[in-house]
Structure 1
């Protein structure tokens, strides 16, 4: 048994495998494109590296693509076989494997709970901590995120390799609760401890955006560009935040430039890249920006994934892309797929039933909530879609536009009031109000 630089106890006897796995964990923490290669090196040096197989499984599962589930399943089988060959491995390894098993059974929340409980006496052990944070992020469990990060920070040794990364996660959890001053302090401390902490940089940018501090937000992101531009496609997401800030300032030409060069420089179908691009283009159009033919590649990509409801958050963004160009057949098929998903019993099926179906019908122009109770229920259930408050704001804005188009000015006002509990009033919401003939947030 040996303890690595991030406090995980593994059964590997290979120094090369341990060094490579530490590099992989650093890559996960800092969103580096070299992470996959480091993981390959780990498993080449020790084909029975249990944690390496578990991480490979989670890495594929978290991409939320139906075709990658078999790869994650194979990784679980490899991890189990490696445990057997390692005579049961270590407790840490067994917990990681159990969590992957539960996640593959269809519950990210339960998998996160396995990790949290398994490491309750060492809550700052970084890999299980980060995996739990990511799983809870994808399920919209902000309360769980904050509970876990608070416990980790309470046990944190700031001299360890993971300290800055742990604080960055805590900053994000605080921000998602609207505790902006605390989040700002934690995020800035995280980056001071670990300048490669892109998640901490990201958490601080969220604070500036949600408080309406656009100039500070732009300065923060431009000042840290050297760090986040080295990321994998997370750099596209950081650029998305920069684009939102410029949009609020009315720098429309700059937003288009950021979109083309940094948000959508590659025509990928990664759901995170699609969410960035779809929601930014939609916001630009609501702000009166002519986006040209930029919807074309998004709608074509979405059409190819029109039957994939692995993650409702992803499916709804794909739906919005097809709606934008009037792709009726694709819209109808994806709405039908989300309806069918809602009949299942796993975690995402429940998300589909509680918010995916009504939001899909709203985006498709088939339905709009008819009364205050339904509006409140939709807004309350939005967290279950997953992602951040900033990402889900796209759905809040779409809801406001839909009910406003139906002539319900009071409902638009109600949505604006709910939105302002977390986000400062902004030009985009005012644009939507004007487009539906109201002016209620002034």
Structure 2
């Protein structure tokens, strides 16, 4: 039983007692009701019990590029940040998760190393349309595709006609297509990314590339009736397109990421390749409009897009944005990053948790996750919302100690993470491997 003055229920924070049995929430009652249990956890007065976060956009990279990250390091980092469920992307592992054999390989790699619950996305690449339904039946939560070069040759991008054909195939069994939406023709007309000036890199990935590709996704989803999801929205210019599509009944959802909501191009020093990601971090006005898109419901959820690499691939010596790997490492920091920014805007903690727990769980169909509700999994983060810390890359659980947030002062500390009602032990991996439809 957990007892505290602030338990984040669907109705907001309230003094409550939470009963747990066999890893499942059995009761949520007012504080003082007198629940009894074999084990009692009492929260401190400055702590809030949150539902464990759900991060549906994590690149674990194992097997094949385990030096970049791995299931042990990624899931420990997740737990340290209050994330109790993550869904692994089908790249940059080798092999990529584009058929059932590759999924089995990845599950075997993860089985003994998961410190939180882990699910898997499949991949949609040229030539694997016949693999989509078998992967769906094997339990992947949906299918990722790129409309532009993915960054790794073994996961090629789809042309728009191939994307639409895959959407039509997924409509047959109500599968979900999640899309990296940038248009290669627009990028081809932009100046090449080279050198240490961030403004030059930003010019190489214009917002128009996102807007054009998102329009293509919307049109294909409208024609097929299939479900589509826009990954890591960076361009606020696309928000009216998305809002109109949703109003028209297009089955569309959208995510954005902490780096687009907490950083701005004007603040990025030249040569600071830790900030490189694709699509890029844009200007301050763009950031403000993304926040508005969250507040009005155009954007559905916030996830990390944790995309790490080894230090050498970030071209730290040269500071050349054209050479550096594009990816931000922030899996452990997401809640503190968003809460630090949200509280200055008057956004309550319960809204932050809605974006980072309930909404991603809903996206993936994880009905047992994302809320402190009887019948749900007893996954929790104990959060000290007024506590502060300074980001030290060497102290993070990520395998490679680099993050654009080094030295940042953040508010909100995850003091304890519980999975299935028990503390996450960094020496004992107890996470489950999830399949679509089972949780």
Please, what TM-score do these two structures have when normalized by structure 2?
A: 0.30
Structure richer in helix, relative to its length: 1
Structure richer in strand, relative to its length: 2
Q: Which has the higher contact order (CA 8 A, sep 6+)?
A: 2
Q: Which protein is bigger by CA-based radius of gyration?
A: 1
